[in-house]
Amino acid sequence: MIKYQLETHSYEETEALGQKLSKYLKIGDVILMNGDLGVGKTTLTRGLARGLDIKKNVKSPTFTLIREYQDGKIPLYHMDAYRLESSPDEDLGFDEYFNGDGITIVEWPQFIKDEVPEEHMSINITRLSDEDRQIEIKLHGQKYENRDFGDLV
């Protein structure tokens, strides 16, 4: 496993990091986003979407479970598994997303851990202060470990 650790010091920096990260992503990538409520998971996802030339406003999928953005260079599937805590066995077709034609981001992945592919990228965001965030990116599996993430850090 390869790990990158960095910090952002504003909402804008967190979004810019997502935009920068997007250029290293490929069809079929699965990103697990971990962190407390309001820590910046959707902000980072918004940056990823901008980097993929997605024009729609990216919102948290908390109440819809899955938001699909098809209007960019690569489709983006943004999931929020938080509400599945009480029914993790519900079949929502995760395999179709994880093995599909886009990039899948899952917030609160611990609630669907049995569905998550072995090879994935995990991003843990920790609040250091009102503005500052520590962001740890872990690459799990050859698919990611063999990829050059160049100037990410």
* Number of domain units in the chain: 1
Note whether residue 118 is domain-resident.
yes
Question: How large is the average pLDDT for residues 132-153?
Answer: 89
Note whether residue 26 is domain-resident.
yes
Q: Please name which of 151, 153, 147 lies closest in space to residue 25, comparing C-alpha atoms.
A: 147
Helix (H, G, I), strand (E, B) or coil at 1: coil
Assigned token pair, 6: 């960095």
Give the structural domain span for 35: 2-145
Residue 88 has pLDDT above 60, yes or no: no
The CATH number assigned to the domain holding 134 equals: 3.40.50.300
Question: How large is the average pLDDT for residues 65-92?
Answer: 79
Q: pTM (2 decimals)?
A: 0.91
Residue 153 has pLDDT above 70, yes or no: no
Residue 89 has pLDDT above 80, yes or no: no
pLDDT score at 59: 81
Express each pLDDT in 17-67 by its tens digit.
999 999 999 999 999 999 999 999 999 999 999 999 999 988 876 666 888
Note whether residue 114 is domain-resident.
yes
Spell out the alpha helix ranges (H) of 52-141: 94-98
Express each pLDDT in 4-15 by its tens digit.
999 999 999 999
pLDDT score at 55: 93
Cα distance between residue 65 and residue 10, in whole Å: 27
Note whether residue 92 is domain-resident.
yes
pLDDT score at 82: 75
Cα distance between residue 75 and residue 19, in whole Å: 15
pLDDT score at 66: 87
Note whether residue 151 is domain-resident.
no
Note whether residue 19 is domain-resident.
yes
pLDDT score at 114: 86
Question: In three state form, how does the secondary structure of 123-153 look?
Answer: EEEEECCCCCEEEEEEEECHHHHCCCCCCCC
Q: How far is CA 150 from CA 14, 20, 96, 141, 146, in A?
A: 18, 11, 30, 18, 12
